[in-house]
């Protein structure tokens, strides 16, 4: 089994970090959770960019 880090790892939520340390969940599980979180972050960035583009298109130029 792979060693689970004792210190907080960047990008991991507090809840997931606690689960990996206390219950011995394999790192593969939290890696999948982090990758899902990455998809959500990517989607959020896409939404923000979309609204920025909309704002630029409504600058009042006729």
Q: How far apart are the first and last CA of the chain?
A: 64
Residue carrying the six token digits 């606690």: 18
pTM of the model: 0.15
Question: Would you state the pLDDT for residue 39?
Answer: 47
| Residue 20 pLDDT > 50 | no
pLDDT tens sequence across 38-61: 544 455 555 555 555 555 555 565
Averaged pLDDT score across all residues of the chain = 52
Q: How many Å apart are CA 43 and CA 22, to the nearest integer? A: 31
pLDDT, position 36:
52
Which pLDDT score, from 0 to 100, does residue 33 have? Answer: 57
- For residue 28, tell me if it sits in a domain: yes
Domain of residue 21, residue span = 14-57
Total of domains in the chain: 1
The answer as to whether 1 is a domain residue is: no
39: in domain: yes
């Amino acid at each position: 089994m792979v060693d689970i880090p004792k210190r907080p790892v960047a990008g991991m939520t507090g809840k997931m970090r606690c689960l990996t340390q206390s219950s011995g969940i394999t790192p593969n599980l939290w890696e999948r959770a982090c990758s899902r979180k990455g998809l959500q972050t990517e989607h959020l960035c896409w939404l923000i960019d979309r609204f920025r583009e909309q704002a630029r298109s409504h600058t009042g130029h006729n």
